[in-house]
Amino acid sequence: MSYISFYDDGELRAYLFEKGLNLLQASLFMLLQSIDKYAEQNGNYSGVKTSNTKIGKELGITQRAVTNNLSKLQELGLIKITFDRSIPSNTKRTIKPVKLVKYTLESQISGLIGYINTFLNSIPENWDELDKDDPEIKEQVKNAISYFGSDKDVINYINANRDELANYDDFINWLSHFSTP
């Protein structure tokens, strides 16, 4: 996965609130993400290895609050917690925050055109594919994304309607419905 851009702090906080997190949970996630980013910049890609005590001191909360809020973040799929029990007397916990990214509309359009071309190339009788540099095609794909709400929803539609979109001409006809007058 190539990252287009990370959410800035304001966008990230708003996104986390939309997911139902409270201020403390959002702050905990953002702290874990910052620590993980720093570790990755220094060559450690395994995740955050710190105690609840240290996290609690940083956020001004109890160890129990840290435990409860880590559980909530894990339940929401925002972090993955693993335990290394290779030494029975010394279990080590690693917390890996999920990378939250946003993609530009341009990258979504390019990705969707690539997906459609891969789909078209999988059809034995088909010889044509969409021109990724054609402004009209790009505009139609952009309008399809807008109509469906996301590039993922367009892909889901394509997958659910494979019989109707069986060749290049069917795709061109379907995309023409998303042309601006």
pLDDT in tens, 57-109: 999 999 999 999 999 999 999 999 999 989 888 889 999 999 877 677 788 88
* pLDDT above 70 coverage of the chain, percent: 92
Per-residue confidence (pLDDT) for residue 5, from 0 to 100: 42
181 located within any domain: no
Which residues are 102's β-sheet partners? 5
Alpha-carbon dihedral angle through residues 75, 76, 79, 82, given to the nearest 10 degrees:
20
Domain boundary among 37, 72, 101: 101
- What residue type is assigned to position 150 of the chain? S
150 located within any domain: yes
CA geometry: angle 95, 71, 74, nearest 5 deg: 55
Total count of domains within the chain = 2
Structural domain containing residue 164: 103-176
Compute the mean pLDDT over every residue in the chain, rounded to the nearest whole number. Answer: 87
Q: What is the pLDDT of residues 118-149, one digit of tens each?
A: 988 888 887 888 888 899 999 999 999 989 98
